[in-house]
Amino acid sequence: MNKLENKIILVTGAADGIGAATCRAMAAEGAVIIATDINLEGAQALADSLGNDAIALALDVCDEKAWAIAIKTTLETFGRLDILVNNAGGSGAGSIEDISVNEYKKAMSLNVDSVFIGSKLAIETMKSTGGNIINVSSIHGLRAAAHAASYSAAKGAVRLLTKSIALHCAQHSYQIRCNSIHPGYVLTTQLAAWIDSTDDPKATLDDLLAKHPIGFLAKPEDIAMGIVFLASNDSRFMTGSELVMDGGFELI
């Protein structure tokens, strides 16, 4: 039985990486996908590959007006929104001394403000019907990285924002669950490109592997399956929780 049969699911950052893998995994479980990304061409290609009435929408997650249009289009097209996956994010490298105030603000906008805006608008549409919000944080939302001050701050904020949302919805009997997922390093095309750009790619990869006691880096599909779990009734007793998928990163 498909775990997400006919669920209407909006995924941000859907053009590639974890977002694309999540769309594919959810579609395989019967979901109808709204694939959103600032890269509309990539999101459209992904949606075209899914079938099952999937559509693609352009969405700059830092733009409140763009969010409003995406939610409005979803409601006009499908009549409701069941699940929101706040996946879009990134940037934030640099220590507290290296990163500029402007770079810090951009990282916070992309990684935290986007989750706040999307969740706020989603709750408005879901509170009479119930729903589910899944926020993609990071292992660095639990364990800080000196070389990524703004990213650590942002992903830590996503963790507690998730808990605040979950508690608010529970207190108001909205029947909306909200959880965060915390991946370790995931071998996306972006991470692979960064590894290849370093002075010694093999040493860089070996260093990343050493941080994960399990002995390998995740594939986007690994994290997607965790998101499917959080989206499905298999996790119906979870809200305000963290799903850690880090290959043991937090253990060392």
Per-residue CA distances from 189 to 2, 7, 54, 153 (Å): 29, 29, 24, 24
Mean pLDDT throughout 191-220? 95
Does 2 reside within a domain?
no
Mean pLDDT throughout 148-163? 97
- Rounded distance between C-alpha atoms, residue 4 and residue 231, angstroms: 8
DSSP 8-state class, residue 186: B
Residue 1 has pLDDT above 80, yes or no: no
- Rounded distance between C-alpha atoms, residue 96 and residue 147, angstroms: 8
- Rounded distance between C-alpha atoms, residue 122 and residue 115, angstroms: 10
The phi and psi torsions of 205 (rounded to 5 degrees) equal -65, -45
What is the extent of the structural domain holding 177?
Answer: 8-186+219-251
Average pLDDT taken over every residue of the chain: 96
Does 49 reside within a domain?
yes
High-pLDDT (> 90) share of the chain, %: 95
Mean pLDDT throughout 90-113? 94
Residue 101 has pLDDT above 70, yes or no: yes
Catalytic residue among 104, 151, 174, 185: 151
Give the residue from 37, 40, 38, 14 showing the smallest Cα distance to 25: 14
Does 78 reside within a domain?
yes
Does 206 reside within a domain?
no
Does 204 reside within a domain?
no
Q: How many structural domains are present in the chain?
A: 1
**pTM, 2 dp:** 0.97
Does 191 reside within a domain?
no
- Rounded distance between C-alpha atoms, residue 204 and residue 194, angstroms: 9
- Rounded distance between C-alpha atoms, residue 14 and residue 24, angstroms: 10
Does 203 reside within a domain?
no
- Rounded distance between C-alpha atoms, residue 35 and residue 116, angstroms: 19
Mean pLDDT throughout 40-51? 96
Q: Is 151 a catalytic residue?
A: yes
Q: What is the pLDDT of residue 78?
A: 98
DSSP 8-state class, residue 246: S
Does 141 reside within a domain?
yes
Q: What is the pLDDT of residue 53?
A: 93
Q: What is the pLDDT of residue 51?
A: 84
**The domain that contains 94 carries what CATH number?**
3.40.50.720
Residue 158 has pLDDT above 70, yes or no: yes
Residue 113 has pLDDT above 90, yes or no: yes
